[in-house]
Every structure is written in C-alpha cells, then in structure tokens.
Copies of this chain bind each other. A is one copy, B any other.
Amino acid sequence: MAPTLHPPLEETTRFLHEQIPLTRAMEVKVESYAGGELTLTAPLEPNHNHLGTAFGGSLSAIATLAGYSLLWLLLDDRSAHIVIRESAIQYHHPVRSVIRAICRTPDAGSVASFKTAFEKAGKARLTLHTVIVEDGRTCVEFSGVFVALR
C-alpha cells in the first residue's frame, strides 16, 4: 500500500520537530498511518553508531516516538499530556539502512477502555508495541506503557 500522507501526518511530523528538537537531529518523519499502523522513519546517517549500524539509543528513541505519536493520533485531544512510564526493548539484529518503526493500534477493546478511562478520570494508560523492520525482518521489538493525562 502506498503511504498515505494527509495533513494530520504532516502536522505530527511538524509537531515532533518543533517540540522535541532531537527529532530534527534524528531526521524523524511520519511516513504513513494506515490500517491502524503508524510508521516513522529516520535515515541511518545521523543515527549510526561506531559500527556503522543504527545506534541503540536512536532505535529506542524512534520506537518511543512511534508509540507516543500513535497515542497522540488515537486520542486526538490537544488538552492531553502524553508521557511514557516504562518500556522494554530487544535488539535482535542490527539495522543497516533506513530505520522504519511501526507501531500498531491495539485491539479495539483496549483502545475503547483507554478512551473511556481518559474521559472519566482524566488519566489512562495504554501499552503499545513497536517493531523496527528491515527487509522483512524484525530487528527490534519494543513495548512501552504510555499514560495520557488531562
């Protein structure tokens, strides 16, 4: 499926670049948001390590950003503050070219419970999973607990 770019995605990229300066240094972009999957990309050049592959810190940061951005798009409430509470990441294989982080929307029940809790209590948490894939191979798996606060 060709990436679908529409104003909310460009707005999300612009929001990230304006509000989180490291995303400019990393050259992070929102590539697509389709079928419940949000994809962020970043080129290798500003994100490489001493071995010429992607730096673990960049991989962790883009996976965090993918979760954060998906939640921002799901919630669509500018009064919400979204923060990360905890995360775990596994590095299975080095990433050798473009970093592509994909965060999938959880099942509809989890999203509905999250939105209801946020509406009622002004606070809700959701666990999100991000994978970083290259040539059809899962190189990195990330799981993060995000909290939305009014």
Residues of A within 8 A of B (CB): 15, 19-22, 25-26, 45-51, 55-58, 60-62, 64-65, 68, 81, 83-91, 94
Contact = CB atoms under 8 A, between A and B. Distances in A.
Contacts of A88: 86-89
23 contacts: A15-B50, A19-B49, A20-B48, A21-B45, A21-B47, A22-B22, A22-B46, A22-B55, A22-B57, A25-B26, A51-B81, A55-B61, A56-B64, A56-B68, A56-B87, A58-B61, A60-B64, A60-B87, A83-B91, A86-B88, A86-B89, A88-B88, A88-B89
A61 B46 CA distance: 14
B21 A51 contact: no
A91 B84 contact: yes
The 10 closest A-B pairs by CB, nearest first: A57-B61, A25-B25, A19-B50, A60-B60, A88-B88, A56-B84, A86-B90, A57-B64, A56-B64, A20-B49
A57 B65 contact: yes
A58 B89 CA distance: 15
A46 B25 contact: yes
Contacts of A22: 22, 25-26, 46-47, 55, 57-58
B81 A85 contact: no
Nearest to A82: B50
A70 B117 CA distance: 43
Contacts of A46: 21-22, 25
